[in-house]
Amino acid sequence: MRRLLYLLPVAVFGIIALFFLRGLTLNPREIPSVLINRPVPEMNLAPLPGRGENTGLATADLKGRVSLVNIYGSWCIACVQEHPYLVQIKKQGIVPIHGIDWRDDPVEGAKWLQKHGDPYDRVGIDPAPGRTAVDFGVTGAPETFIVDKAGLIRYKHIGPVTPETWDKVLLPIIKELNK
Amino acid sequence: MTRKKRRLYFVILGLLAIGTAAALVLSALRQDIVFFFSPSEIMEAKVPTEGRRIRLGGLVEQGSVVKQGALVHFKVTDGAHSLPVVFEGLLPDLFREGQGVVTEGRMGDGVFMASEVLAKHDENYMPKEVAESLKKSGHWQGEQPK
Amino acid sequence: MIAEIGHFALILALAVALVQATIPLIGASRGNATWMALSGPTSTAQVLLIGISFAALMHAYVTSDFSVMNVAQNSHTDKPMLYKVAGVWGNHEGSLLLWITILALFGFAVTLFGRNLPPGLKSRALAVQAMITVGFLLFILLTSNPFARLEPPPINGSGLNPLLQDPGLAFHPPLLYLGYVGFSMAFSFAIAALIEGRVDAAWARWVRPWTLAAWVFLTCGIALGSWWAYYELGWGGWWYWDPVENASFMPWLAGTALLHSAVVVEKRDALKSWTILLAITAFGLSLLGTFLVRSGVITSVHAFATDPARGVFILGLLVVAIGGSFLLYALRAPTLKTGGLFAPLSREGALLLNNVLMATGAGTVLLGTLYPLFADALDLGKVSVGPPFFNSVFLPLMVPMVLAMGIGPLMSWKRGDLAGALSRLKVAAIVALIVAIVTWVAQGGSLGPWWAAAGMGLAVWLLLGTLTELAERTRLFRVPVGQSLLRLGKLPRAAWGMTLTHAGLAVFIAGMTASSAWKVESVQSQKIGETVTVAGYAFTLKTVQDVQGPNYIASRGTFEVTKDGAHFAVMQPQKRSYKMPPMPTTEAAIETTFLGDVYAVVGDASSDGGYVTRLYFNPLVVWMWFGTAMMVFGGLVSLSDRRHRIGAPTRAPTHVPANSVKA
């Protein structure tokens, strides 16, 4: 009886730890996008200043090829981190990357690309409050969407693209969609 | 005072405290915890909302925010249904259309009367509960596309 | 280059910690003095290596070296120097490094001050300390390297969350960590004592000052965080029972209980296995807090960015450290010799009552904090547990505790005289009752909440009870006043510490009760020139202007506030929009008076041409801060007591508990 009393703390802790383990798996890493497996929203975004005519992003631009749509902003913290990697992906030429400069001053957005490199085929500006980004279901930046040949959003990645997520998650999906 | 008696005293004291705490906890769990629902759950009348304090979570519907003096009207949506909300007071700094939001209050006549609107001090705010309810309402097909 | 040195120093520190965690432990069990003595140089080496690492990160922040990713993500060249420095711990990786640095400092302190500790206890405790260090070093090196480089480096950093750019918050994490990690001392010594199978007065005398120091830091840290929330978040409250707040409050409760039970171990050689359990629990709850804040299992308003890989790692750490300790406790604690006997009605009994209530209180807070997780895992629905739960569970448990706090110090050790104590407290009881009744009448009976009267009565009871004890000690009114004063001057500092701390809590309770019960709040759309009166203060909105700050633009409201027709203050709350990172914040304007805070917030323009304003009168808020300051000061005074000085205690065989001072 007395022994059992001394076992009580470890028993209580054990139960709590089990719940924690369950809690960690409950924690949804991927935040759902309302638009998975649905067409890209209607949009016709103006190009960034200095990037030339006809480099904006419209719904029709995303049809016919598997492509990535990357949400960024010159104010965005984690974008700095993923950006060099996007430039690298661009060099590999596997998939075209389009950008949406979200809730940003377009001049700043363009300057930022000059500074950090420009991996994008097309960049559309989505000024505050960011109507198009909302239609995409964006919750923050950076986010990256995979759009298939039919113009359907097939995957949403939240947070910076890292070599690891690229190799393990994004690239396999792109390869699958390219088949 | 023998050792046994002292132990008995210890045990009684402990049981008394734990018993009181348990009683308080049980009564508080009945009254003072707040359930979290999505607009769909409320609109489809799946859950009892009558007179209860509840939390409603979802995305602030685009273009739905109307300010009238200190009163704010907006709609919270989970993609399937949207529910009108009315709130009096100062909105949190990071409240905006299209963003995830959690409100606490009671259901009135088809309108959710919020007494609190919560948002995180972070640009990337998406409350876990909102994410979960969006998943449940079928707008999210899982992590890997087939 | 410097960042790489910092990283390398961490790896070396890991190697040293591994040595310290094993060799002295084996040495202690074999009685090998050389092996045991190794704990000294290794803990010194650790503090140097980890210090170098911390200095390297600090250097990167101060020089704005944006090739270090951590700096790029959390700093900016335009940031004032204070926030560059504070930026070091304003993020997950850096704060973890701070945690480890403090851990190393405490380990070093044992080596430095622990010359008169028995070598077996010392080397074992240091080995346990090193095991914790190993766990955290692995965590930082494997999942959260603060020295990761960014290639190519950005021209400038991303800045720090503007809410965190505040002097109150700059020092909040270090103080909090000094508290959390301070409990690791009690923990390490508890584990060492379990291994040794011996807990005695010397053990308690060693553990007490460390626990007290940790408690002082933690109290300061919590208060600073609460104060920040009060003036920075603009909703007029100071405590929300948010999981992150609870994460710091639970170790505080356990630590407070530990402080009191360690007294019983020291003076009366009793409650030993309970004290060991509390020592493990206090540090265990600190670790649990770390887990809750960094793993994302609980939704909170202000958690660090979360990463499940980290969550799994800390959970593993938690299971090894706490689960292992509790298991060791279950195996070894029954073999501890039980100590002195005492009657239920005695000083020990009162302290035990305090302990049981504190522990139960901490248990209910834990339950409330984790309940959403339990409900979710058991599919009982999504729930949130907020202030109503904690207020109706935790606060009632504290009522008997405060009542006992008035009586306990008047009881003598071993066998107390309850009737005698109560008769000496007659005055306190009568005055408390009168205050409660006056409060009730003054708030207009049931117009105010019923508990307000109870809270004010309890505050007075505790204050007068504490003063009665002081009067008893100095034999006030029984001997000539001069002699009483002489006695007062001769009181040991530990006694002063207790008096100040308990009285501080009384002042705090009064402030807390008043500010919760009689807060007056008014939210409205106010036009320029319009006057709104709140609690007798007339707020006239004069202007709302755009102003330019160093790294933000703001709309600033100007209120002219009058009371009874006379000018009171000009208040200028702001709504700011920061540029880097882009974020709006609310800057409340607060005018503090002895009787309450006048608090104003200005919001967005509303459609009818006015501005949404929120005006408060928060009664007696400053009493809470003052009461907390008294508690901290009392802790410090007690810490300066000759007998409590860190490192002073020896395992003297001639210790006589009977002639020691009541404290």
| pLDDT at B59 (0 to 100) | 77
Rounded Cα gap, residues C655 and C660, in angstroms: 9
By C-alpha distance, which of C265, C319, C661, C371 is closest to C498? Answer: C661
Q: Is C571 helix (H, G, I), strand (E, B) or coil?
A: strand
Same-domain check for residues C281 and C149: no
**Cβ-contact C579, C596 below 8 angstroms:** no
C361-403 pLDDT, tens digit each: 999 999 999 988 888 788 777 777 888 899 889 999 999 999 9
> C55 CA to chain A: closest CA distance, Å?
24
Q: Find the CB nearest B123 among C356, C583, C585.
A: C583
The token duo for C497 is 């510490």
Candidate from C383, C389, C612 with C-beta closest to B90: C612
Q: Are residues C320 and C393 in the same domain?
A: yes
Band of pLDDT at residue C658, cut at 50, 70 and 90: very low
Is the pLDDT at C537 greater than 50? The verdict is yes
Q: Cβ(C290)–Cβ(C306) under 8 Å?
A: no
Q: Tell me: pLDDT of B64 over 60.
A: yes
B21 touches chain C (CB under 8 A): yes
Cα distance between the two ends of chain B = 74
pLDDT band for position C54 (50/70/90)?
very high
Q: How would you class C48 by CB atoms within 10 Å of its CB: exposed for 0-12, middle for 13-18, buried for 19 or more? A: middle
* C376 CB-side CA count, 13 A: 27
Q: What is the DSSP letter of C606?
A: P
Name residue A144's beta-bridge partners.
A70, A157
pLDDT at B26: 87
By C-alpha distance, the chain C residue nearest A1 is: C334
Interface test with A, best of C297, C325, C331, C578 (most A CBs within 10 A): C297
B96 touches chain A (CB under 8 A): yes
* Residue C185 falls inside a structural domain: no
Would you state the pLDDT for residue B2?
Answer: 66
Rounded CA-CA distance C292/C284 in Å is 12
Q: Does B144 touch chain A (CB under 8 A)?
A: yes
C12: left (phi over 0), alpha (psi -120 to 50) or beta: alpha
Q: Is the pLDDT of residue B63 over 90?
A: no
Instruction: Quote the tokens at residue C64.
Output: 């704005």
The confidence score (pLDDT) of residue C626 equals 96
Bigger pLDDT: C83 vs C280: C280
Query: Do residues C393 and C459 share a domain?
Result: no
3-state helix, strand, coil in chain C (%, to 5): 65, 10, 25
In this structure, the answer to whether residues C64 and C144 fall within a common structural domain is yes
Task: Check residue C170 and give its pLDDT.
Answer: 83
In a mutational test of the C interface, the residue from B90, B125, B128, B133 whose CB has the highest number of chain C CBs within 10 Å is: B90
- Please state, rounded to an integer, the average pLDDT across all residues of chain C: 87
Chain B positions touching A158 (Cβ under 8 A) are 124
Q: If contacts are CB pairs under 8 Å, which of residues 109-138 in chain A contact chain C?
A: 115-116
Q: What residues does A39 pair with on adjacent strands?
A: A152
Digit-coded pLDDT (tens) for C474-532: 877 778 888 888 888 888 888 899 999 999 999 999 999 999 999 998 888 899 999 99
pLDDT digits (tens, 9 = 90+) for B22-56: 898 888 887 778 888 878 778 877 667 677 788 88
Strand partners, B88: B71
- Are residue C325 and residue C386 in the same domain, yes or no? yes
Which residues in chain C (551-610) have CB-CB distances under 8 A to chain A?
579-582
**Which domains, from first to last, does chain A contain?**
31-178 (3.40.30.10)
Q: Of C44-53, C87-96, C635-644, where does the model show the most confidence?
A: C44-53
Single-letter amino acid, residue C346: S
CA atoms in the 13 A half-sphere facing the CB of C526: 29
C531-534 vs C383-385, strand pairing mode: unpaired
Query: What is the ipTM metric for this complex?
Result: 0.84
- Number of structural domains in chain C: 4
- Contacts of residue C654, defined as CB under 8 A and 6 or more positions apart, other chains included, come to none
Q: What kind and span of H or E run contains C395?
A: helix C387-407
Residue C606: closest C-alpha in chain B? B69
- Same domain? For C383 and C280 the reply is yes
CA–CA gap between residue C510 and residue C459 (Å, rounded): 5
How far apart CA C427 and CA A30 sit, in angstroms, is: 63
Per-residue pLDDT at B137: 41
Looking at the fold, whether C500 and C532 belong to one and the same domain comes out as no
Q: Is B139 annotated among the ligand-binding residues?
A: no
Name residues 246-285 of chain C within 8 A of B (Cβ): none
Does the distance separating the beta carbons of B31 and C388 come in below 8 Å? yes
Q: Is A103 on the interface with C (CB under 8 A)?
A: yes
Inter-chain contact C315–A9, Cβ cutoff 8 Å?
no
The residue type at C483:
Q
Smallest Cβ–Cβ distance between B124 and the set A33, A134, A139 belongs to A139
Q: Count other C-beta atoms under 10 Å from residue C392's C-beta.
A: 15
Residues with Cβ < 8 Å from A169, sequence gap 6 or more?
A155, A157
Burial class (CB in 10 A: 0-12, 13-18, 19+), C4: exposed
Q: Which residues of chain A have pLDDT under 70?
A: 1-2, 25-36, 75-78, 81, 128-130, 134, 137, 139-140
Is C638 contained in some domain? Answer: no
Q: C606-656: per-residue pLDDT in tens?
A: 777 888 888 999 999 999 999 999 999 999 999 988 776 655 555 544 333
Taking CA atoms, what residue in B is nearest to A38? B139
Tens of pLDDT, residue by residue over C256-305, are 999 999 988 888 888 888 999 999 999 999 999 888 877 766 655 444 44
Q: Does C580 have pLDDT greater than 70?
A: no
Q: What pLDDT, on the 0 to 100 scale, is given for residue C328?
A: 94
Domain final position from C346, C366, C397:
C397
> What are chain B's partners, defined as 3 or more CB pairs within 8 angstroms?
A, C
Q: Is residue C444 located within the same domain as residue C403?
A: yes
Name the residue with higher pLDDT: C311 or C614: C614
The Cα–Cα gap between C601 and C266 comes to 51
Phi, psi of C615 (to 5 degrees): -120, 135
Neighbours of chain A (3+ CB pairs under 8 A): B, C
Continuous segment of H or E residues that includes residue B73: strand B71-77
pLDDT digits (tens, 9 = 90+) for B71-121: 889 988 876 778 899 998 777 766 777 667 788 888 888 889 888 887 644
Share of chain C above pLDDT 90, in %: 49
Q: What are phi and psi of C332, to 5 degrees?
A: -100, -30
Is residue C153 one of the residues assigned to a domain? yes
- Sign of the torsion angle spanned by Cα atoms A145, A147, A153, A154: negative
pLDDT at position C19 over 50: yes
Chain C residues closer than 8 Å to B10 by CB: 352
Q: Are residues C438 and C453 in the same domain?
A: yes
Is C639 domain-assigned?
no
Annotated ligand binding at B81? The verdict is: no
- Which residues of chain A neighbour C273 with C-beta distances below 8 Å? 6
The structure tokens listed for C608 are: 């009818």
Give the model's confidence band at C563: pLDDT under 50 very low, under 70 low, under 90 confident, else very high. very high
Residue C311 has pLDDT above 60, yes or no: yes
How does strand B82-88 pair with strand B112-118?
A: parallel
CATH assignment of the domain containing C90: 1.20.120
Task: Please state, in angstroms and rounded to a whole number, the distance separating the CA atoms of residues C656 and C662.
Answer: 13
* Domain boundary residue, one of C359, C377, C397: C397
Is residue C422 situated within a structural domain? yes
* Rounded percentage of chain B residues whose pLDDT exceeds 70: 72
Q: What are C596-607's pLDDT values in tens digits?
A: 999 999 887 877
Helix (H, G, I), strand (E, B) or coil at C76: coil
Residues C462, C386 share a domain: no
Residues of A in contact with B123 (CB under 8 A): 140-141
Which residues lie across from A147 on neighbouring strands?
A: A67, A153
What the block records as the tokens of C183 is 């409990």
Q: Are residues C384 and C337 located together in one domain of the fold?
A: yes
Which residues from chain C sit within 8 angstroms of residue A75, using beta carbons?
Answer: 158, 579-582
**What does the pLDDT read at residue B94?**
67
- B132 at interface of A, judged by CB pairs closer than 8 A: yes
Q: Are C604 and C575 a contacting pair, CB within 8 Å?
A: yes
Mean pLDDT of C347-369: 91
- The size of the A-B interface in CB pairs under 8 A is 53
Q: What is the pLDDT of residue C647?
A: 52
Helix-then-strand count for chain B, H and E:
3, 7
Does residue C183 belong to any structural domain of this protein? no
Distances (CA, A) of C80 to B128, C76, C146, C236, C594: 35, 9, 21, 27, 33
| Cα torsion C331, C333, C334, C337: sign | positive
Residue type, C634: G
Between the CA of residue C14 and those of C27, C132, C263, what are the distances in Å? 20, 11, 36
Looking at the domain assignment, is residue C180 inside a domain?
A: no
Which is more confident, C585 or C424?
C424
Task: Tell me the residue type at C178.
Answer: L
Alpha-carbon span A85 to C580, nearest angstrom: 23
For C19-44, what is the mean pLDDT? 91
Q: Could you list the residue range(s) of the whole structural domain that residue C27 is in?
A: 1-165
Indicate yes or no: CB of C329 within 8 angstroms of CB of A9: yes
For A:36-75, CB contacts with C below 8 A are 75
Task: State whether B27 and C603 contact (CB < 8 Å).
Answer: no
Chain C neighbors of B18, CB-CB under 8 A: 360, 363
Mutate to test the interface with C, among A2, A3, A10, A102 (most CBs of C within 10 A): A10
Chain B residue numbers touching C232 (CB-CB < 8 A):
none
Chains A–C, number of C-beta pairs less than 8 Å apart: 92
Pairing of strands B33-37, B54-60: parallel
Neighbours of B43 (CB within 10 A): 15
Enumerate the residues of chain B whose CB falls inside 8 A of the CB of residue A170. Answer: none
Structural domain ending residue among the three candidates C149, C165, C181: C165
Asked if residue C160 and residue C216 are part of one domain, the reply reads no
Residue C45 lies in a domain: yes
